[in-house]
Amino acid sequence: MEKSIGFFISLALLTTMAVFATTRSNEISSIEKQETGAMAPDTHVLVTDDLFKVLSAHGELSTFSTMLRASGLVRDLSKNGSYTIFAPNNAAFDALPSGTVETLLMPEQKASLTAVLKNHFVAGEIKSADLPGGTPMESLDGKKLTCSADQDEVKIGKASVIQTDLDMQHGVIHVIDRVLLTSE
């Protein structure tokens, strides 16, 4: 009896070691394929994960993050290079008329939500030192965004830039204190 228990324990130990060795071998093989280019990483996942990692590290951007996820916009953007994002903080969304955020998050309002969010994206990475004073930038929705600077304040339209240069893999985020609406 003791021999059969010892046999089963040895068998279980060998099986565990074999599974671990196979799993580790597959992990190493996958890493080697990525490093040699034999297997390209999914850049959509990398861009999306990086953007949401940066947004989640800044709790004051949680509403913007929620809206981005609901819109599906990031999936489309991740295929097209780098971006500058003027991300409204939570207080900016709180300042909108009551029910606006909830309405935009409804599935049937996805097109409206996407249009509002596109106002906050500009193609290309523009660091704060390079924001074009007085020269309009074009948002992804085609809206002209005018940047102005005086003394220590930078504005995008009527929104003040309150935090700059939050770096992400494919661009940069500047936090603003107002939602950029299509009607402004």
Summarised one tens digit per residue, pLDDT across range 58-105 is: 889 999 999 999 998 877 676 678 899 999 999 999 999 999 999 999
pLDDT at 11: 36
Q: Given a cut of 80, is residue 46 above it in pLDDT?
A: no
Q: What is the pLDDT of residue 49?
A: 59
pLDDT of residue 113: 95
Inter-CA distances, 49 with 53, 110, 118, Å: 6, 21, 19
Per-residue pLDDT averaged across 52-61, rounded?
Answer: 86
Full-model pTM: 0.71
pLDDT value of residue 183: 58
140-166 tens-digit pLDDT: 989 999 898 877 788 998 999 999 999
User: 110-118 and 62-71 are packed helices; what angle lies between their axes, rounded to 10 degrees?
Assistant: 120
Give the mean model confidence (pLDDT) for residues 113-124: 94
Instruction: State yes or no: pLDDT of 45 exceeds 50.
Output: no
pLDDT at 27: 40
CA angle 56, 61, 62 (to 5 degrees): 65
Instruction: Please spell the DSSP secondary structure of 65-96, one letter per residue.
Output: HHHHHHHTHHHHHTTS--EEEEEEPHHHHHTS
Tally Cβ neighbours within 10 Å of residue 56. 11
